[in-house]
Amino acid sequence: MKYRLEATVSARVDILNRITTLFIQKGLPVESVNYKVIDDRLAKVELICSDADDIRMDRIINQADNMVDIAEVQYTRMDK
């Protein structure tokens, strides 16, 4: 199953490394990453991964919610 993670983050590129590390730790392949600056302080990150399940995605969301530079994070399932 494919999932799309969307996060509102501080406008710092190093946050991409921290988010993708969460997926690597869970052994989930990342298919694409999109980073878009909204204003001076905020950016949007969109990440698509495959071979995931709700349990692993919930764990990633919980870990991401505890990161200081992430304001909001959520995921949605994508149809194949």
* Full residue range of the structural domain in which residue 62 is found: 2-78
Q: What is the CA radius of gyration of the chain?
A: 12
Rounded (5°) CA angle 78-45-49? 35
Name the domain count of the chain: 1
Question: Are the CB atoms for 49 and 29 separated by under 8 Å?
Answer: yes
Mean pLDDT of 61-69: 93
pTM of the model: 0.87
**17-43 pLDDT tens trace:** 999 999 999 999 999 999 999 998 999
Give CA–CA dist 35/13, Å, rounded: 8
In this prediction, residue 13 carries a pLDDT of 80
Q: What percent of the chain has pLDDT over 70?
A: 99
In this prediction, residue 80 carries a pLDDT of 59
| Strand-pair partners of 10 | 42
CATH number, domain containing residue 41: 3.30.70.260
